[in-house]
Amino acid sequence: MRISVDLNGVPTSLDIEPQEFLLDVLRDDLGLTGAKRSCDTQVCGTCTVLVDGAPVSACSYLAAETDGRAVTTIEGFRETPAFEPIAAAFTRHAALQCGFCTPGMVLTIHALLEDGELTDEPSIRHGLAGNLCRCTGYRSILAAVGELAANRVAAG
Ligand code: FES
Ligand code: FES
């Protein structure tokens, strides 16, 4: 089947199989490997991308469901002004080690900040519960996102 997607801001026509998952299309067909495959069962969040601005687990999300919608991967997000403040906070707080979880983590953080859902540590813990990290112990991530959330609140 053929679908039309706004992929990272570019109108894109894709030939897919009806049962194909979005992560397979992104990584295998399009070479967009920023979204990572780990659990493949909608648990770890490393495959997170945005569909119409909302985070989804691409490993378990049918590509067909994106027809007529906007898909943002980390490759597209890094070209937007919203990327830099998150990247800077992660750098300041050393909030990554291997980086495998980071693309999905960054996209989830962006979406939740936009929705005003990250305001304090409990809300950050809750919001990021679906994005697992094997390296950092989470303290540095919480510090980075806490700073971003505080800046967002201060900016009104
Ligand atoms: S690889 Fe998709 S949630 Fe883990
Ligand atoms: S930085 Fe390695 S899994 Fe998160």
Both tokens of 43, joined, read: 């648990």
In whole angstroms, how far apart are CA 37 and each of 5, 9, 54, 108?
A: 22, 23, 19, 16
C-alpha 153 to ligand 1 mean position (Å): 31
Identify the residue whose tokens are 């050393």.
94
pLDDT tens digits along 2-54: 999 999 999 999 999 999 999 999 999 999 999 999 999 999 999 999 999 99
Domains along the chain with CATH numbers:
2-73 (3.10.20.30), 83-155 (1.10.150.120)
Could you tell me the distance, in angstroms and rounded to a whole number, from the CA of residue 59 to the centre of ligand 1? 5
Nearest ligand 2 atom to alpha carbon 99: 1
For residues 20-33, one letter each, b for 16 or more C-beta atoms within 10 angstroms of the residue's C-beta and e for the rest, the string is bbbbbbbbeeeebe
- Using one digit for the tens of pLDDT, what is the confidence trace for 83-97? 999 999 999 999 999
Which atom of ligand 1 is the closest one to the Cα of 44? 4
